[in-house]
């Protein structure tokens, strides 16, 4: 039975099911209170967690997002149920950390992870097209490195307790959230009182949705970066059929819920600075490709015992702190006194994106196995 289920989840229908479930649940979370076109965004939600912990002090994006906790723990449950939980470590962790940092800086320049890019598109935000184009170009460059021998080396089996660190971190986050731990007026946790961080679906619903998606994605290996990479690398359309299902179903759900508003300027929590939408996601795509998974996939891997993926996640959370502390993240479009102001990133943000691209290229060129 277990083996038959495994084969189903590994099949094309399995991955389509995962994509379709995310496509329904993400817009529903938005309806239930999550920020617009941000039913689920792994990068944004990790950024909110960084804010809640006080790793950055951008007051509008601070909340311990239960979805992220659910993703990791749902994957843990699935991995345990199917005897796939395997503690492993040691594949160039510090490189993965750095890739996580720059992946986040790139994603926050655009204002979203690949999942949110798709959700923004299905909500009518046309800026997502440039983001997705950038993502594809970044992944394409990553594939060139993969073809020329790039890899971060082998991981090794290790003590089971190592694999439990990330699930344990998530359980601690959940407890902090449930008890709304706050030592004094000025200490963490911080919760936004306005802005996207203040918008959230009910805790329990967010957590359960996270668990369901975490479970399904662990079984099916759903990965947005992998979808595009596999098509470029070997014309394999398996993973991308899940991504297609997500887009189609999310589009229909957004239409049905009245959440589809087509446009470029002034889309929710988005900017129409085209070049930096493109370059931000190109950086993120390259970093994901070099690290072997999109931010969601890294969470699911972390849940099944892959501590290298856990390090990437910690890198992303650190990157979120740096991004907001150094004012690198994208600023949404705004209307000030009746005048349209296109948002975008500061010169510091531009420098950080370019630095990130350079660092990723150096990693790609210098970490190739010539044999």
Partner 1 sequence: MTKQVDARGLSCPQPVILARQAIGTDEFPIEVLVETVTSRENVRRAAEKLGCTVRVEEAGDEFKLTLTK
CB atoms closer than 10 angstroms to residue 35: 23
Q: Are strands 334-336 and 339-341 parallel, antiparallel or unpaired?
A: antiparallel
Which residues ranging from 62 to 121 are in contact with partner 1 (CB under 8 A)? 82, 84, 86, 88, 91
Rounded least distance, CB 238 to partner 1, Å: 6
Single out the segment in contact with partner 1 by CB under 8 A; choices: 106-114, 126-134, 151-159, 333-341.
151-159
Does position 236 bind partner 1 by CB under 8 A?
A: yes
What minimum distance in Å lies between the beta carbon of 145 and partner 1?
Answer: 11
CB of 53 to partner 1, least distance (A): 28
Give the up-direction half-sphere exposure of residue 196: CA atoms within 13 A in the CB hemisphere.
24
Q: Does 151 bind partner 1 (CB under 8 A)?
A: yes
Residue 77 C-beta: closest distance to partner 1, Å: 16
Adjacent-strand bridge partners of 88: 157, 306
Q: Is 226 in the site for partner 1 (CB under 8 A)?
A: yes
Which positions from 330 to 369 touch partner 1 by CB under 8 A, shown as an x/- string? ----------------------------------------
Please say which residue, 125 or 230, places its beta carbon nearer to partner 1: 230
Give the Cα separation of 6 and 55 in Å (integer). Answer: 39
Q: What is the dihedral of CA 342, 344, 347, 348, to 10 degrees?
A: 150
Task: Output 120 or 221, the one with its CB closest to partner 1.
Answer: 221
- The answer to whether the Cα torsion of 35, 41, 47, 48 is positive or negative is positive
Q: Give the 3-state secondary structure percentages of the chain, helix then strand then coil, rounded to 5.
A: 65, 5, 30
Cβ count within 10 A of residue 84: 14
Gyration radius from the chain CA atoms: 19
Q: Cis link prior to 189 (omega < 30° from 0)? A: yes
CB of 294 to partner 1, least distance (A): 11
Q: Considering the rule CB under 8 A, would residue 152 count as an interface residue with partner 1?
A: yes
Q: Give the nearer residue to partner 1 in terms of CB position, either 53 or 233.
A: 233
Tokens of 27: 């817009």
CB of 150 to partner 1, least distance (A): 9
Query: Per CB under 8 A, which region of 54-62, 204-212, 229-237, 241-249 contacts partner 1?
Result: 229-237
Closest CA to 99 of 287, 231, 330: 287
Does position 162 interact with partner 1 (CB under 8 A)? The reply is: no
Considering the rule CB under 8 A, would residue 158 count as an interface residue with partner 1? Answer: no
**CB-based contact 222:15 (threshold 8 Å):** yes
Which parts of 221-338 fold into alpha helices (H)?
224-234, 238-256, 274-291, 295-303, 307-325
Instruction: Please select the residue that binds partner 1; options are 116, 238, 271, 324, rule is CB under 8 A.
Output: 238
Token pair of 368, please?
């190739």
Q: Least distance to partner 1 from the beta carbon of 155, Å?
A: 5
- Count of residues engaged in binding partner 1, rule: CB under 8 A: 27
Q: 89 by DSSP, 3-state: which?
A: strand
Which of residues 25 and 291 has its CB atom nearest to partner 1 in the complex?
Answer: 291
Rounded to a whole number of angstroms, the minimum distance from the CB of residue 149 to partner 1 is 9
CB of 221 to partner 1, least distance (A): 5
What does the block give as tokens for 13?
Answer: 């229908």
* Interface segment toward partner 1; rule CB under 8 A; list 98-106, 179-187, 228-236, 338-346: 228-236
> Which residues contact residue 164 at a Cβ distance below 8 angstroms, ignoring those fewer than 6 apart?
87, 305
What are the residues binding partner 1 (CB under 8 A)?
6, 10, 82, 84, 86, 88, 91, 146-147, 151-152, 154-157, 221, 226, 229-230, 233-234, 236, 238, 292-293, 306, 308
């Amino acid at each position: 039975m277990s083996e038959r289920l495994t084969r189903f989840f590994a099949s094309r229908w399995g991955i389509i099911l995962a994509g379709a479930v995310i496509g329904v649940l993400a817009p529903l979370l938005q309806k239930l209170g999550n920020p617009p076109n941000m039913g689920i965004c792994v990068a944004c939600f990790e950024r909110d967690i960084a804010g809640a912990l006080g790793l950055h002090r951008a007051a509008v994006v601070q909340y311990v997002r239960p979805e992220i906790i659910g993703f990791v723990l749902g994957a843990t449950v699935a991995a345990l149920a199917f005897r796939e939980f395997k503690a492993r470590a040691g594949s160039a962790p510090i490189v993965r950390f750095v890739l996580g940092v720059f992946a986040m800086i790139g994603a926050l320049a655009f204002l979203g992870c690949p999942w949110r890019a798709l959700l923004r598109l299905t909500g009518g935000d046309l800026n997502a097209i440039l983001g997705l184009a950038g993502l594809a170009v970044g992944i394409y460059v990553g594939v060139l490195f993969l073809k020329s021998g790039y890899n971060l080396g082998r991981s090794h089996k290790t003590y089971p307790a190592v694999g439990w660190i990330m699930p344990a971190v998530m359980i601690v986050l959940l407890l902090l959230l449930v008890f709304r731990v706050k030592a004094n007026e000025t200490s963490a946790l911080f919760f936004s009182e306005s802005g996207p961080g203040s918008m959230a679906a009910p805790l329990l619903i967010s957590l359960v949705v996270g668990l369901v998606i975490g479970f399904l994605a662990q079984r099916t290996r759903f990965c947005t970066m992998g979808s595009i990479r596999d098509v470029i690398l070997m014309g394999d359309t398996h993973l991308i059929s899940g991504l297609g299902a997500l887009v189609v179903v999310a589009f229909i759900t957004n239409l049905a819920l009245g959440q589809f508003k087509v446009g470029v300027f002034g889309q929710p929590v988005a900017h129409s600075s085209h070049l930096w939408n493109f370059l931000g996601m190109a950086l993120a795509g390259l970093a994901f490709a070099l690290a072997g998974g999109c931010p969601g996939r890294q969470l699911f891997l972390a849940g099944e015992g892959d501590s290298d993926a856990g390090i990437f996640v910690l890198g992303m959370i650190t990157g979120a702190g740096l991004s907001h502390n150094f004012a690198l993240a994208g600023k949404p479009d705004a209307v000030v006194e009746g005048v349209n102001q296109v948002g975008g990133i500061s010169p510091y943000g531009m420098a950080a994106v370019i630095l990130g691209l350079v660092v990723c290229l150096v990693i790609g060129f210098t970490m190739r196995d010539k044999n």
